[in-house]
Amino acid sequence: MKNLPVESELESEVLEPEIVGLEPPPPSLFKSFLQRGLLMLALVLAGVGLCVVGLVLTFTIVGAVLGLPMLFLGLGLVVFSLLTPLNGRSIKVKVFRRGRP
């Protein structure tokens, strides 16, 4: 470090310790059931809305170009939302931490 044109000091790298064991407890069974129910209800409503708009658009030939894909997307969303609670897996949230530059 003595060959540099300016004076510098070597700083030790400071590591932030991870706190282990202080994770929040898993949500209760009722809260998990309520979250799944609300998610399923929102997806069903969105799917039914897409189906209705798709049906209305299919009354004209030009509208059928947009209406049929919307109709199929809405039906797929309804089926997906009804089958999602049956898979038995819990919803996992991944948290990505940004490192310091």
What is the SS3 assignment for the chain? Answer: CCCCCCCCCCCCCCCCCCCCCCCCCCCCHHHHHHHHHHHHHHHHHHHHHHHHHHHHHCCCHHHHHHHHHHHHHHHHHHHHHHHHHHHCCCCCCCCCCCCCC
Give the confidence band of 81 by pLDDT, cuts at 50, 70, 90. confident
Q: Is residue 33 one of the residues assigned to a domain?
A: no
Q: Is residue 11 one of the residues assigned to a domain?
A: no
Averaged pLDDT, 1-8: 65
Which one has a higher pLDDT value, 8 or 34? Answer: 34
Q: Is residue 90 one of the residues assigned to a domain?
A: no
Which one has a higher pLDDT value, 80 or 3? Answer: 80
Split into its structural domains, the chain has a count of 1
Q: Is residue 94 one of the residues assigned to a domain?
A: no
Residue 32 has a pLDDT of 77
Q: Is residue 72 one of the residues assigned to a domain?
A: yes
Does the pTM exceed 0.75? no
- Domain encompassing residue 52: 39-83
Q: Is residue 50 one of the residues assigned to a domain?
A: yes
